[in-house]
Structure 1
Amino acid sequence: MNKLIIAFLLSLAPFLSQSQNFEKYENMKEVDAMVMTSKMFKMLAKVDLSENDPEAREYMKLIENLDRIQIYKSSNPKVMTQMASDVKSYLAKGSLEELMRVTENGKNIKFYSLPGKNDNYVKELFMYLEGGEGAEPMSIILSITGEIDLSQLSKLTADLKVPGAEQLKKANKKS
């Protein structure tokens, strides 16, 4: 009986789990990876800032509500194919809503979000970029989770030097 219950729970795990396991890319030598956790954001939020700088205070307010930022970038064709497959599988779960698509200079950039507590917030911002820089092919997966204030998000992605940040900034100005 216990084996039956365990088997049943294991079969439900993929449906109960919200996030895709993109972490497998962290240890691949063909992938540039950056992962920041909530502990890092909490540490950054404790940095003593001048009370006269409202922009810095807003920035700290944004990052202290983040849970995780994951960025994976590769130019290896085999890894790029796997990334495309994993992203397709992740999006097929149907929990993310498409925000926008941009095709520019040989890059296809797609933004998705998971709705948050109201229209100004999302629980996850997900970006997938396929294309290249010059002659070099490239794929990038970006996932930001937490209580994300959309009005502050373009600043964060620009500071992280994420490809597609400029398109996100333009989209923010339109909304």
Structure 2
Amino acid sequence: MKKIAIIVFIGLLPMLSQAQSFAKYEDMKDVDAMVMTSKMFKMLAKVDLSDDNPEAREYLKLIENLDEIKMFTSTTASVRSEMQKDVESYLNSNNLDQLMRVKEDGKNIRFYSKSGKRDNYVSELFMFMEGEKEGEPISVILSITGEIDLSQLSRLTSDLKIPGAEELKNVENKS
């Protein structure tokens, strides 16, 4: 019985460590981190808007269905190298489909997703960007989870000033 428990634990260990692979960046000195949870989205969704603004209602509907947004950025070479390794490991073990790659203005941006319950929806949108911002090397990891409507997503990321947000306008057509 002990052997079975040990084998099961060893089998689950990669999945457990993978879930923590990006959490470590929250406390690193050379990483800027932003994490928004479902509680924040639910609080924002309760904002009372007039019924005559359908665009605002659609926006609130989008954020109400989000679980979490995590974004980590760094300009430190050693951290950027670690980010690259963790992203490759994450992509190899999490069944994400590549949506698109963009290489322009000194930036390499890759978008991935997990299928959602409906067409044009995904359960996770993942982006990794390597490049330069204001002449300085930078890496950005972005993960958005929940029931994500791709047609509304570029607006949210633009409002949050997320690097690569401009390229997200093209993701809807690639899904």
Q: TM-score range by the shorter chain?
A: over 0.9
- Is the partner of 1:59 in helix, strand or coil? helix
Compute the TM-score of the two structures, normalised by the length of structure 1: 0.92
Compute the TM-score of the two structures, normalised by the length of structure 2: 0.92
1:44 touches 1:60 (CA, 8 Å); kept in 2? yes
Q: Kindly state the Cα deviation for residue 48 of structure 1 after the two structures are TM-superposed.
A: 1.0
- Taking the aligned partners of 2:41 and 2:48, their CA distance within structure 1 comes to 14
- Taking the aligned partners of 2:171 and 2:123, their CA distance within structure 1 comes to 18
Hey, what does 1:33 align to over in structure 2?
33
- Is the partner of 1:40 in helix, strand or coil? helix
Q: Kindly, what percent of the aligned residue pairs are identical?
A: 62
Deviations 1:36-79 (A, max 9, x none): 11111111111111111111111111111111100000000000
- Taking the aligned partners of 1:89 and 1:174, their CA distance within structure 2 comes to 24
Hey, what does 2:97 align to over in structure 1?
97
1:20 touches 1:90 (CA, 8 Å); kept in 2? no
- Is the partner of 2:170 in helix, strand or coil? helix
2:99 touches 2:174 (CA, 8 Å); kept in 1? no
CA RMSD in angstroms comes to: 1.8
- Taking the aligned partners of 1:20 and 1:111, their CA distance within structure 2 comes to 21
Hey, what does 1:126 align to over in structure 2?
126
Moved over 4 A (4+): 14-20
Gaps of 5+ in 1: none
Hey, what does 2:48 align to over in structure 1?
48
Gaps of 5+ in 2: none
- Taking the aligned partners of 2:97 and 2:44, their CA distance within structure 1 comes to 30
Hey, what does 2:58 align to over in structure 1?
58
Hey, what does 1:72 align to over in structure 2?
72
The 1:5–1:173 alpha-carbon spacing in structure 2 relative to 1, beyond 3 Å, is: closer
- Taking the aligned partners of 2:134 and 2:60, their CA distance within structure 1 comes to 35
Letter in 2 for 1:11: I
2:95 touches 2:114 (CA, 8 Å); kept in 1? yes
- Work out the number of aligned pairs and report it: 174
1:6 aligns with 2:5: yes
Letter in 1 for 2:52: N
The 1:151–1:127 alpha-carbon spacing in structure 2 relative to 1, beyond 3 Å, is: same
- Taking the aligned partners of 1:20 and 1:95, their CA distance within structure 2 comes to 17
